[in-house]
Amino acid sequence: MRRPWLPMVAIAFGQAQMSWNVSALPVSVGGIVGTFGVAPTMVSTAIVLYSLAVAGCIMAGARLGKRFGAGLVFRLGTGVFLLAMLATALSPSMGVVLAAQLAGGLAAAAIVPMLVVLIARHYEGRQRAQALGWLGGIQAMAVAAGFLVGGAVGTYFGWRWTFALALPLSAAALVLSTRFDKTNGDPAIRVDTGGLALTIAATICVAMGFNSSARWGILEASSHAPFALAGFSPSLVMIAGGLVLFFWFFKHTSAREARNLPVLVSLEVFKQRGQKPALLSLHATELVGSALLFLVPLYIQVVQGRSGLQTSIAMAPYQLAVFAAAVMVVALYARFSARGLASAGFLLMAAGLLVLAFAMRNVWGDFAVVAALLVGGAGQGALMSVLTNTLVNGTPEAHAGDAGAMRGTVINLSAGVGTALAAAISVAFLASGIDRKLDGHALAQTEFINRLDLTEVRFVSNDELTAVAERLGATPGEAADAAMINEAARLKALKHSFFCLSLIAILPIAVAFFLPRRPAGSGG
């Protein structure tokens, strides 16, 4: 029997509020930097903090859903998220923005696993496959709307209004959530505090390790690193430590399950065939997509000095392609396996990024650039839908919350890592490019270059660089030469970053080979 779609509408608004925030941050880079006078990487820190909070606490959110009921946890999380968006919109300092994003991430940690639980509870069969496809599509559509509408609002009314527009989405989710079927919790459910501490510590180490790599160095410790371990960067040490803590968490959980003690997430999720490759593939998909969503707005707004509206228009082809592919790929589930669809998705993502690496010339309206964004977006949208279906349909309904928690952990941790990795790679390429351009150049012998701190290279516009050069005593000719070198190095850094991402996108095809042969939406 077909169920009414009104509960799905409430779920859709619950997803949309979070996706809106994810797009509002990058599209507001220029406005936030201008308002608070901070470096663009502070906005990437806000993104990482949000993603870190979701990834670190989402498993606990799933357990809360089992204890108090999915509907109640969804409503409480949405209420806190509404307050977090209000605090971001009214924030008097960058510190408040960071705190509000952290609070929003904690609220999202409770909401995200409930989305999958509520879909599994309200829909079955093909309706469930459609609902899961729409969940991925809504995520992409809300991000696209955040870029388009948020960019326009931010340009004409200020970046704060971009976050204020998330408030009606939260309010609609709260009102419509009254149409959920009544769900009773189990007061006997307990949260594994030891497991929670391990996941939070592991997430912090991995996310902050990647986030600090732009300043401390990716492999070799830079002069800004607080310490070096045999010459290696503290970032690398933190990432390795985080991976060890994740391994410890799974060993801890396995031991507790063997003794019938409460666990943070049931390892039954990993025992179903195809679940591990689905999660690994989802990780790669979100990592690459988040890196792209950070690089393009950074370059358009900070480097080229364009508005949020121009940024949203440039990103529209990508976001619309993600939405369309996530929804339309459901029609292919009966004809193609999850393995085949995922492999095709990774090929499309890699192809789009590779074209960007060769076609980018500071112009976002070129046919090749638009086509590349469409192809890459289609690949990501198809992957998000196919992999979510594989994950949920391969998990018993009793463990739907665990599957949702793992999906949310992977997506949000990957989003933070992807953003931080993109910042680190692009800055490393920029610094290397400037060093090569200055090598043997007459400008390298000037006094003003010697007064610049070239160990603190970051993306700046030509106008900003020229102003700094003149303040340090450069002649107009020297300032013009410096701007020209910087412009060439910036473009090459962007192109090299896209090329690296294309390589990252093609590697998971080897993992996708282990996805089920059966049709993606056949269930079981």
pLDDT in tens, 122-173: 888 778 877 877 776 777 677 777 777 877 888 788 889 999 999 999 999 9
Q: What is the pLDDT of residue 96?
A: 93
Q: What is the pLDDT of residue 524?
A: 41
368: CB partners within 8 A, 6+ apart: 355, 359
Q: Which of 30, 26, 62, 69 is nearest to 46 (CA)?
A: 26
Q: Which of 389, 405, 418, 396 is nearest to 291 (CA)?
A: 418
Query: Distance of CA 264 to CAs 63, 207, 414, Å?
Result: 7, 20, 20
HEC-encoded secondary structure of 404-457: HHHHHHHHHHHHHHHHHHHHHHHHHHHHHHHHHHHCCCHHHHCHHHHHCCCCCC
Q: How far apart are CA 418 and CA 426, in angstroms?
A: 12
Q: How far apart are CA 384 and CA 19, in angstroms?
A: 14
Do residues 174 and 75 make contact, with C-beta atoms less than 8 angstroms apart?
Answer: yes
Residue 276, both tokens = 């591990």
Q: What is the pLDDT of residue 173?
A: 93
- The residue type at 299: Y
Helix axes 308-328, 275-297, angle to 10 degrees: 160
Query: Distance of CA 183 to CAs 11, 37, 69, 404, Å?
Result: 15, 47, 5, 17
Residue 317, both tokens = 């082809």
Q: How far apart are CA 384 and CA 135, in angstroms?
A: 9
Q: Give the length of the chain.
A: 524
- 23-41 in b/e form (b: 16+ CB < 10 A) is bbbbbbbbbbbebbebebb
Q: How far apart are CA 234 and CA 226, in angstroms?
A: 8
CA 449 from centroid of its chain's CA atoms:
37
The residue ranges of the chain whose pLDDT is under 70 are 1, 41, 136, 140, 214, 272, 301-305, 307-308, 362-366, 394-401, 440, 442, 444-462, 518-524
Q: How far apart are CA 125 and CA 375, in angstroms?
A: 30
Q: What is the pLDDT of residue 456?
A: 55
Q: Which of 430, 462, 418, 147 is nearest to 303 (CA)?
A: 462
Q: Please state whether the predicted TM-score (pTM) of the whole model is above 0.75.
A: no
